[in-house]
Amino acid sequence: MTGEIPAAQAAVLDKILSALSGDHRFEAVLSGGSLLHGGFDAYSDLDLVIVVRPDDYAAVMAQRAAIASGIGGLLAAFTGEHVGEPRLLICLFGPPLVHVDLKFVMAADLLRMVERPRIVWEREPGRTAAVLEAAHVHWPDQPAQWFEDRIWIWLHYGAAKRLRGEFFEASAMLSYLREMVLGPMLHRRAGRPQRGVRRIEADAAAAAALQPTMTMLDADAIDAALRNAAELYLALRQDDPPPTPVPLMPEALLAYLQQG
């Protein structure tokens, strides 16, 4: 596999495989992310799932940082509680700098996944493949009502920050809206998994639709971006209308913005 990826990532992956294959506690190394979906390039992260023997799992979880350090070239690492994934160790190796996500799981954890990973290495050929074949794979796309219940509250938050003069906060909320609502809905329209704004630049129509929601740190520009975000949401909402639209929207939001 390492011949398929750039030299910097390939070198780190080779070191990871060498270290883990020599440790009896590890059963397999799997890959997700760009190595799975395509488009892996010199700027891509290595997204790896490390399958651990059940009897050794607690010890491995307690020693994750030391295990990563033992691979060689580790510069920094922290765990993934902030993204709701405490099994994840987020690492930076180098130089050259390579971002690597190491998620430590047991084979039983592979039975329910958001994507079917690719086997990079396994200690017993065919064993992990059989588990993956039996797995239930489901990407956690959000239903229409999930977007509807949140968009107006988040737009109001951005509007309140703009009216108060907190332009950085308002701009940050617009970015959050693109990541959590508008980007996923644009992916939905194109029949793709709702992956935030990942690689949305490759879809010219989607990228063009998001452009008016970008803003400078200026009151009028933020007003326009918030209104454009609401307008884009309403257009995307027509693809799959929510069962229970929030009442008085968007009129109440637009009236609120007019205060400033």
Could you give the 3-state DSSP secondary structure of residue 80?
strand
Tokens at residue 69, please?
A: 């350090």
Structure tokens given for 125: 């050929």
Beta bridge partners of 118: 31
Q: What would the mean pLDDT of 135-139 be, rounded to a whole number?
A: 87
**Average pLDDT, integer, range 23-34:** 92
Instruction: Report the distance separating Cα 93 and Cα 72, nearest Å.
Output: 8
pTM for this entry: 0.86
Q: What is the pLDDT of residue 189?
A: 97
124 class by beta-carbon count within 10 Å (0-12 exposed, 13-18 middle, 19+ buried): exposed
The per-residue pLDDT for 36 is 73
98-105 and 118-122: which strand pairing?
unpaired
Count, in order, helices (H) and strands (E) of the chain: 11, 8
Between CA 40 and CA 92 the distance in angstroms is 17
pLDDT at 2 over 60: no
144-257 adopts what CATH topology?
Answer: Four Helix Bundle (Hemerythrin (Met), subunit A) (1.20.120)
Q: Which residues contact 174 (CB under 8 A, 6 or more apart)?
A: 158, 213, 214, 215, 222, 225, 226, 229
Phi then psi for residue 135, to 5 deg, are -75, 150
Which CATH superfamily is 2-137 part of?
Beta Polymerase, domain 2 (3.30.460.10)
- In this prediction, residue 1 carries a pLDDT of 57
- Domains of the chain, by residue range, sit at 2-137, 144-257
- Given pLDDT bands bounded at 50, 70 and 90, which one contains residue 216? very high
